[in-house]
A and B are shown apart, each in its own frame.
Chain A
Amino acid sequence: EAGVTQFPSHSVIEKGQTVTLRCDPISGHDNLYWYRRVMGKEIKFLLHFVKESKQDESGMPNNRFLAERTGGTYSTLKVQPAELEDSGVYFCASSQDGSQRGYGYTFGSGTRLTVV
């Protein structure tokens, strides 16, 4: 089966611009997660979708970040306006049964965002 796909793989934007990251989960996976690693820090949870609903968005840093998952398929994460501290790698992951399943989550390769 195809894995979790993220687009773009790299993005360089100027401070104040808008960027939209996309994640295509594994087909049939209801659970979709966003994580990110900013420079020198650990990978941090951002939010969790179950189908099209936000189950947990406790990790979203501020209102410049907007995540959507229309139709419960792919998801987008928009940063508007981008700030320098938003630079980092944004990972998306998906799972079929969430925490009920013992086989972990499948992560994408990430989008490396650089804000200059």
Chain B
Amino acid sequence: LAKTTQPISMDSYEGQEVNITCSHNNIATNDYITWYQQFPSQGPRFIIQGYKTKVTNEVASLFIPADRKSSTLSLPRVSLSDTAVYYCLVRSYNTDKLIFGTGTRLQVFP
């Protein structure tokens, strides 16, 4: 499975848009890009998943360029409650195993 690289931490202020970029240079044709969010003392929570171009849901947007070697999770107008660790994962369509990296610790300030 492709390894992912993302910033260890990011800071933001309430109301700002936050973009977290993840690189996955060895992504394979059958791989999907998946993002999870984790709050302290909770399990990871699925945010969004995509294969190419752009995916948007009520929580976030995911931008994937044509070469798929990177992806950007965009959180519009963050609030204090968005302070969490965000994991970028590359998941094969043919396997159920998730491989977590270190994640990006996002801190939102008032």
Residues of A within 8 A of B (CB): 4, 31, 33, 35, 42-45, 48, 55-56, 58-59, 91-93, 95, 98-100, 102-110
> Who on chain B is nearest to A44 by CB?
B100
B contact residues vs A (CB 8 Å cutoff): 32, 34, 36, 41-46, 49, 87, 91-102
Do A104 and B95 touch across chains, with their CB atoms under 8 A apart? no
**7 tightest A-B contacts by CB?**
A104-B46, A107-B43, A43-B100, A99-B96, A98-B96, A91-B43, A45-B97
A105/B98 contact (C-beta < 8 A), A43-B44, A91-B44, A99-B91 known: yes
Contact B96 A55 (CB under 8 A): yes
Bound CA–CA A107/B38 (angstroms): 10
When C-beta atoms are compared, the residue in chain A nearest to B93 turns out to be A99
Closest B residue to A43 by beta carbon equals B100
Q: Would A99 and B94 count as touching, CB distance under 8 A?
A: yes
Dominant SS among interface residues on chain B: loop
Task: Please state if A33 and B43 are interface contacts (CB–CB under 8 Å).
Answer: no
Which A residue sits closest to B34, measured CB to CB?
A: A104
Contact of A105 with B99 in the complex, beta carbons under 8 Å:
no
From B41, B46, B101, A105 is in contact (CB under 8 Å) with: B46
Which listed residue (B32, B96, B100) contacts A33, Cβ 8 A? B96
Determine the chain A residues whose CB is within 8 A of the CB of B97 once the complex forms: 45, 48, 56, 58-59
Q: How far is the CA of A24 from the CA of B46 in the complex (A)?
A: 19
B99 adjacent to A45 (CB under 8 Å): yes
Give chain A nearest CB distance to B30 CB in angstroms: 10
**Cα distance, A110 to B43, chains bound together (Å):** 6
**Which residues from chain A contact B91 at a C-beta distance below 8 Å?**
99
- Nearest neighbor of A105 in chain B, beta-carbon distance: B46
* Contact partners of A105 in chain B: CB under 8 A: 46, 98
Select the residue from A4, A59, A104, A108 with max chain B CB neighbours within 10 A.
A104
